[in-house]
Amino acid sequence: MPQPTEVPTSRGVFAELGRLARADGMSEQVCSRLCGAWARELGALTIVLTLFDENGEGHVIGAAESATAALATAQFRLGEGPCVDVRRDGRPVLADLDSARRWWPAWTAEPAASELGSVASLPLATEGAQQPMGTLWSCFKDSDAMPVEGLGEVWALATLVARQATTQRELVRCEALSAQLQHALDSRVVIEQAKGFLAARDGLALSEAFERLRRHARNEGRRLHEVAREVVAGAKR
């Protein structure tokens, strides 16, 4: 199986979808359209892209068909299947239908697996990483229908897509964390302001002022920073 070290010449459909990805980000819709285009190009029954989170759980980010997206998700629910093996071992998994039934009996017994043929699950990895960031999972009618060279090209493209999607997901996570930290900082600032106002007005120690705020918030079933904000607003009037 060729390694995804170079980006092959993109056909027109891939170039167009690449333009969409740059414009709209690696949304599930864009990734699914990519999977659909790849499946048609290779003559595959389906192609699914998954990413692993920090806990090792797999999440579908694109699928040629919704039914096969559910079948990919079932692998992680059942703890068996080609994508699970890739996550564990970091190596490509190729299997014909008979092998798939022996290796993953619970997964191949899923109703949606009735159309399965030969499967290929390929790790999507960044250079130097110990664990893959996701998988490219594909299914063909049989082993002879699996175009190894074409699959290698799609593997290269899928690796780039997964890198972009991972970067985008990390940016979203960082933005959310930044917003949480900013909210915590703003809350702390207003609480300190309220403590200072109560301490000055009523001749209290800062610890006593804080305890008064906390007791009032608890008695009214409200958040501490909400009560503190009201105190600060009243002090400014």
pLDDT given at position 37 = 85
> What is the phi/psi pair of residue 2, to 5°?
-65, 145
pLDDT given at position 25 = 55
pLDDT given at position 97 = 86
Contacts for 19-28 with beta carbons within 8 Å, 24 or more apart?
A: 21/161, 21/164, 25/168, 26/61, 26/161, 26/164, 26/165, 26/168, 28/60, 28/61, 28/62
- Cα distances (angstroms) measured from residue 161 to each of 26, 32, 141: 7, 11, 26
β-strands 58-63, 134-140: how paired? unpaired
pLDDT tens, position by position, 27-64: 778 888 888 888 888 888 888 888 888 787 888 888 88
How high is the mean pLDDT in each 10-residue block of the chain (237 residues)? Answer: 36 49 61 85 86 83 84 91 90 88 92 83 76 85 70 72 66 72 82 86 86 87 86 73
Ordered alpha helix ranges (H), 1-95: 12-24, 28-42, 66-78, 82-89
pLDDT given at position 81 = 92
**How far, rounded to the nearest angstrom, does the alpha carbon of residue 8 sit from its chain's CA centroid?**
26
How far apart CA 27 and CA 29 sit, in angstroms, is 5
pLDDT given at position 185 = 80
Confidence (pTM):
0.61
List the end-to-end C-alpha distance of the chain, in Å, as a whole number.
73
Q: Which CATH class is domain 12-174?
A: alpha beta
How far apart CA 134 and CA 57 sit, in angstroms, is 10
Helix (H) or strand (E) holding 170: helix 148-202
CATH of 177-236, one of 3.10.129.10, 1.20.1250.20, 1.10.10.10, 2.60.40.290: 1.10.10.10
Give residue limits of the domains in the chain.
Answer: 12-174, 177-236
How far apart CA 6 and CA 155 sit, in angstroms, is 10
pLDDT given at position 78 = 93
